[in-house]
């Protein structure tokens, strides 16, 4: 019979196959496997499997230097927490620290040295060899010795042992300048040096002695001191406990510290000096200070026939101060009274990271207040501090002086080397750029990522990322005693990473290795047999004398340990000039006090006052884990640099509503910002974070970071904590 297939036969066959398939595993197993595929598909990352261990180190993201305990899988940290009992953080970590182990995987991480070209909104990079960069530096360095400008090294983490190395090398160089960010606490030391009759040295705070803190815009409850200092204060907030610390926050911004403080005194921007004078006025007027001490120890307190502090203060009556600062005279009086009644009290300046320093005069005014309040008495809350011992050859006379940006003439730097690029504190590039010789200068940054100032450099050399690098942690400004700890690598650094010290050593044609340097330092500290050592593994603190050798000390330090100096007995009281020792001190202080707030500045209807701010360790993009989108974009808990916060009345004035986009403009440029309305913000101001956005998923494209500080007019110079800008609808 010939086989003829009709359509009907085929249909029958297909029908039979379908019926047959249904009684085989094919459809059912496929259904199951496909759904499993949606659960375990290749696009879903597999979690690591392997041995679990625990390691310790120290966080180097900000000056606090918290102890870090890392839970690791296959030796790679996957969860960080604070080291238990650590003197700095006592088992806690800030959000940046919690996610710090991600920084090694930052999407903008550099793998090779690059040449950077900035375009409009984007940045192009071209890989170059390290030798190329060194050759360029060598040429530029030759130029700088040949009177074509100076060689400046911007140290974005001053105070480290390697900083001493830099200063020593720069001192040997004819035109070497050691440059630090102006927000650095070194400014305070400079102020004190200007006030004190004899060199004063660094100070620290015994906050545990204090019952009232008067903070002049310092982020005291939000990253100024160490967690161990602020946690107790924060834990007793809203409690009726008598001895609980009371924090009075003087702040133009509704900052986090203002939110958390017991009292927030908002004042017109840039009128901190006036308010300090006003409070001092009440204290002096009502005789609430130790007349015996002040009369004896303050040379410029009252000099008949000459402009004295009393004269200066005399002008700042509560009413006048109120007019200047916008703070009611009742509040000024009551604040002064409560500072005295609820002592010991301390006033803290220092400014906010993104907002920049308060300015020298304001700092001096605040320190005057501290002396009036008795905070510098021998049993007061501010103490003198010894620095951690340094190795031989690093005494201060062998080092190049620490320079702030304002001390450097414009267009004078031929070669700028940057160590860091992601500091705790920002430096507006426009300020730095003015110091460079136009078109003939070379800027080279050592940075793990292409963020921050590195975006402005011509060449960037990749350095090991956080937790890959070996570095030491200098003493934080708030600490009453010297401390020293080491951030030892928890991760293996990838190929091609170079420590900044190696680059700098090559520039200065010398030898330098971080490990050697730190070993020298630890040996020097060990040699004094002073202080005690915290051991991370056990969570205990032992006198250094219990350690047998510098090596043992080194081992403890590199395993998340910390050295703390013995407290020193307060030196006898110094003689202080309340206005500083400069010849024109009176006039400068008066000007600073009488300075008109930008809020009262020339009023055009579209003008408002920009208050930039930032958190330590979160102004640099490389210090934000990609996961920090949770805080910035996904919860709004931290405001991104693209969000401007306004009072509803201000927003209304500019015809903007919550969620809209606005254009912020100054003579130096424009920036697009999202508008956020907040009734707690001072009318007439705009609060905006100076800092980058975290780069989350799929954020590998290099985009120029938007930073509000870029809008600062370099002519306006320091301080930049408030400036005028116009705002319009986007």
Partner 1 sequence: MDKHLITRGVQRSPFWKFILWILPWGMLLGWGLYGAYLCLAEGLNQTNMDNRFAFGLWIYLDLTVIAFGAGAFFTGFLLYILKRHELKSVINSAVVLGLICYSGAIAVLMVDVGQPLRAWFTFWHPNVHSMLTEVTFCLTCYLTVLILEYAPIVLKNRQIRKIPSYLVFEFNLHKLMVVFAGVGAFLSFFHQGSLGGLYGVLRGRPFAFREELGIWPSTFFLFILSAMAAGPSFILLTTWLVEKLSRKRLVKHETLSYLGKLSGIMLTVYILFKSIDTLIWINSTSPSSGFPAFEYYDRAAFGTWVLFAEVVVFGLLPALLLLRKRFREHRGWLITSAVFVLAGVALNRFVLTIQTLALPTLVFDEFLSYLPSWQEVATFSLVIAYGVVLYSVSFRYLPLFPQERELAQSY
Partner 2 sequence: MIKKGSPGFWSGFGVALVIGWLAFPRILYRSLEQPVQFSHAIHTGETVGMTCDGCHTFSNDGRFAGIPTLVQCAGCHADVVGETEAEEHFVKEYIKQRREVPWHVYARQPDNAHFSHADHVNVGGIVCERCHGSHGTSGSLRPFEENRISGYSRDIWGANISGVKSNAWEGMKMNDCVACHNENNHRSACLDCHK
Partner 3 sequence: MDQATVKQSRYGMAIDLDRCTGCGACLMACAVENNVSPGRPTVNERTGTTWMRVIEVQDGRAFPAAETAFIPMMCQQCEEETPCVSVCPQNAVEVDPETGIVGQIPQRCLGCRYCMTACPYHARYYNWWDPQWPEGMEKALNPDVAPRMRGVVEKCNFCHGRLHDARAKAAAKGSREINPTDYIPACVESCPVQAITFGDLNDEAADVARQAKSERAFRFLSRLGTEPKVYYLSGRSWVQRLADRELARSKKETVHG
The footprint of partner 1 on residues 21-50 (CB under 8 A) is 31, 34-35, 37-39
Q: Does 39 bind partner 2 (CB under 8 A)?
A: yes
The phi, psi pair for 277, rounded to 5°, reads -65, -40
Q: Does 36 bind partner 2 (CB under 8 A)?
A: yes
Q: Tell me how far, at minimum, the Cβ of 232 lies from partner 3, in Å.
A: 9
16 or 636: CB nearest partner 3:
636
The residues with which 316 forms a beta bridge, in sequence order, are none
Window of 400-408, 446-454, 539-547, 680-688 that interacts with partner 3 by CB under 8 A: 680-688
Window of 25-33, 45-53, 496-504, 555-563 that interacts with partner 3 by CB under 8 A: 45-53
H or E segment to which residue 258 belongs: helix 256-260
Q: Which of 115, 231, 541, 570 binds partner 3 (CB under 8 A)?
A: 231
Q: Tell me how far, at minimum, the Cβ of 538 lies from partner 2, in Å.
A: 18
**Among 691, 696, 701, 623, CA closest to 448:** 623
Q: Which of 2, 23, 34, 43 binds partner 3 (CB under 8 A)?
A: 43
Judge residue 174's burial from the number of C-beta atoms within 10 Å of its C-beta, 0-12 exposed, 13-18 middle, 19 or more buried.
exposed
Q: Does 240 bind partner 1 (CB under 8 A)?
A: no
Q: Does 79 bind partner 2 (CB under 8 A)?
A: no
Provide the 8-state DSSP code for 223: I
Size of the site for partner 1 (CB under 8 A): 6
Question: For 50-86, b where at least 16 C-beta lie within 10 A, e where not — what string?
Answer: eeeeebbbbbbbbbbbbbbbbebeeeebeebbbbebb
Q: How far from each other are the two terminal CA atoms of the chain, in whole angstroms? A: 84
Residue 543 touches which of partner 1, partner 3, partner 2, none (Cβ within 5-8 Å per kind): none
CA-to-CA dists, residue 471 to 48, 65, 157, 489, angstroms: 29, 11, 10, 9
Residue 31 touches which of partner 3, partner 2, partner 1, none (Cβ within 5-8 Å per kind): partner 1
The footprint of partner 3 on residues 615-634 (CB under 8 A) is 625-631, 633-634
Q: Tell me how far, at minimum, the Cβ of 15 lies from partner 1, in Å.
A: 14
Ordered strands of the 471-473 beta sheet: 471-473, 483-487, 562-564, 532-535, 540-543
20 or 295: CB nearest partner 2:
20
Q: Cα–Cα distance between 635 and 233 in angstroms, integer?
A: 26
What are the tokens at 382? 């501010």
Q: Does 17 bind partner 2 (CB under 8 A)?
A: yes
What are the start-end ranges of the H helices in 326-391?
329-341, 360-372
Window of 19-27, 101-109, 123-131, 542-550 that interacts with partner 3 by CB under 8 A: 101-109
Which residues make Cβ contacts (< 8 Å) with residue 475, sequence separation at least 6?
A: 159, 202, 204, 385, 387, 388, 481, 482, 483, 484
29 or 728: CB nearest partner 2:
29
- What is the residue-wise DSSP string for 639-685? --TTEEEE-HHHHHHTT--TT-EEEEEETTEEEEEEEEE-TTSPTTE
Q: Does 39 bind partner 3 (CB under 8 A)?
A: yes
Q: Does 37 bind partner 2 (CB under 8 A)?
A: yes
Q: Cα–Cα distance between 38 and 33 in angstroms, integer?
A: 9
Q: Does 93 bind partner 3 (CB under 8 A)?
A: yes
Residue 368 touches which of partner 1, partner 3, partner 2, none (Cβ within 5-8 Å per kind): none
Q: Which of 2, 3, 4, 46 binds partner 2 (CB under 8 A)?
A: 46
Q: Does 40 bind partner 2 (CB under 8 A)?
A: yes
Q: Tell me how far, at minimum, the Cβ of 716 lies from partner 3, in Å.
A: 26
Binding region for partner 2 (CB under 8 A): 8-21, 23-26, 29-30, 32-34, 36-37, 39-40, 42, 44, 46-47, 49, 51-52
Binding region for partner 1 (CB under 8 A): 31, 34-35, 37-39
């Amino acid at each position: 019979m010939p086989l003829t297939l009709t359509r009907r036969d085929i249909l029958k066959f297909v029908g039979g196959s379908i019926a047959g398939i249904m009684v085989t595993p094919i459809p059912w197993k496929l259904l199951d496997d496909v759904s499993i595929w949606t659960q375990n598909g290749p696009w879903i990352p597999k979690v690591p499997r392997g041995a679990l261990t625990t390691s310790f180190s120290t966080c180097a993201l900000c000056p606090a230097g918290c102890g870090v305990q890392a839970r690791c899988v296959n030796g790679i940290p996957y969860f960080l927490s604070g080291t238990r009992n650590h003197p700095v953080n006592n088992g806690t970590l800030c959000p940046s620290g919690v996610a710090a182990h991600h920084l090694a995987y930052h999407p903008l991480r550099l793998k090779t040295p690059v040449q950077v070209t900035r375009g409009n909104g984007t940045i192009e990079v071209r890989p170059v060899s390290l030798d190329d960069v060194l050759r360029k530096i060598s040429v530029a360095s030759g130029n700088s010795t040949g009177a074509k400008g100076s060689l400046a090294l911007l140290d974005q983490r001053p105070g480290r042992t390697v900083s001493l190395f830099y200063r020593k090398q720069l001192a040997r160089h004819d035109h070497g300048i050691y440059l630090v960010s102006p927000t650095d606490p070194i400014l305070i030391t400079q102020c004190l040096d200007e006030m004190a009759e004899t060199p004063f040295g660094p100070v620290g705070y015994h906050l545990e002695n204090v019952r009232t803190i008067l903070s002049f815009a310092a982020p005291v409850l939000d990253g100024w001191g160490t967690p161990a200092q602020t946690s107790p204060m924060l834990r007793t907030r809203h409690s009726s406990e008598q001895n609980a610390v009371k924090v009075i926050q003087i702040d133009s911004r509704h900052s986090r510290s203002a939110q958390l403080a017991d009292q927030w005194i908002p004042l017109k921007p840039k009128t901190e000096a006036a308010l300090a004078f006003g409070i001092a006025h009440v204290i002096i007027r009502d005789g609430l200070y130790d007349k015996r001490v002040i009369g004896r120890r303050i040379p410029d307190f009252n000099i008949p026939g000459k402009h004295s502090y009393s004269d200066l203060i005399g002008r700042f009556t509560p009413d006048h101060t109120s007019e200047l600062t916008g703070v009611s005279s009742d509040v000024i009086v009551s604040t002064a009274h409560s500072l005295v009644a609820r002592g010991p009290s301390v006033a803290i300046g220092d400014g906010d990271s993104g907002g920049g320093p308060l300015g020298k005069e304001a700092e001096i005014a605040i320190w005057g207040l501290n002396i009036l309040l008795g905070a510098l008495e021998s049993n007061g809350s501010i103490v003198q501090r010894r620095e951690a011992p340094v190795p031989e050859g690093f005494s201060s006379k062998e080092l190049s002086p620490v320079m702030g940006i304002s001390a450097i003439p414009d267009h004078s730097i031929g070669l700028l080397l940057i160590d860091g690029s992601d500091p705790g504190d920002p430096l507006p590039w426009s300020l730095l750029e003015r110091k460079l010789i136009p078109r003939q200068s070379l800027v080279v940054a050592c940075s793990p990522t292409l963020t921050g100032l590195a975006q402005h450099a011509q060449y960037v050399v990749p350095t090991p990322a956080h937790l890959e690098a070996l570095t030491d942690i200098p003493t934080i400004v708030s600490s009453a005693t010297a401390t020293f700890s080491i951030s030892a690598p928890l991760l293996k650094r990838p190929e091609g990473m170079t420590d900044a010290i190696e680059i700098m050593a090559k520039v200065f044609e010398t030898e330098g290795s971080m490990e050697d340097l730190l070993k020298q330092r630890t040996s020097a500290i060990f040699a004094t047999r002073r202080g005690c050592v915290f051991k991370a593994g056990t969570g205990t603190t032992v006198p250094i004398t219990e350690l047998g050798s510098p090596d043992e000390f080194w081992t403890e330090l590199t395993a998340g340990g910390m050295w703390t100096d013995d407290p020193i007995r307060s030196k006898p009281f110094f003689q202080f000039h309340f206005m500083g020792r400069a010849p024109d001190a009176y006039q400068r202080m008066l000007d600073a006090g009488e300075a008109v707030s930008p809020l009262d500045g020339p009023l055009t209807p579209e003008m408002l006052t920009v208050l930039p701010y930032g958190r330590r360790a979160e102004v640099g993009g490389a210090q934000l884990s990609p996961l920090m989108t949770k805080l910035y974009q996904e919860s709004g808990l931290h405001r991104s640099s693209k969000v401007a916060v306004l009072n509803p009345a201000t927003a209304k004035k500019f015809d903007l509503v919550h969620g809209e986009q606005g254009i912020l403009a100054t003579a130096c440029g424009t920036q697009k910002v999202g508008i956020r309305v907040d009734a707690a913000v001072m009318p007439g101001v705009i609060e905006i974070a100076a800092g980058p956005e975290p780069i989350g998923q799929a954020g590998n494209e290099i985009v120029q970071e938007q930073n509000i500080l870029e809008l600062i007019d370099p002519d306006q110079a320091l301080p930049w904590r408030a400036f005028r800008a116009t705002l319009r609808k986007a």
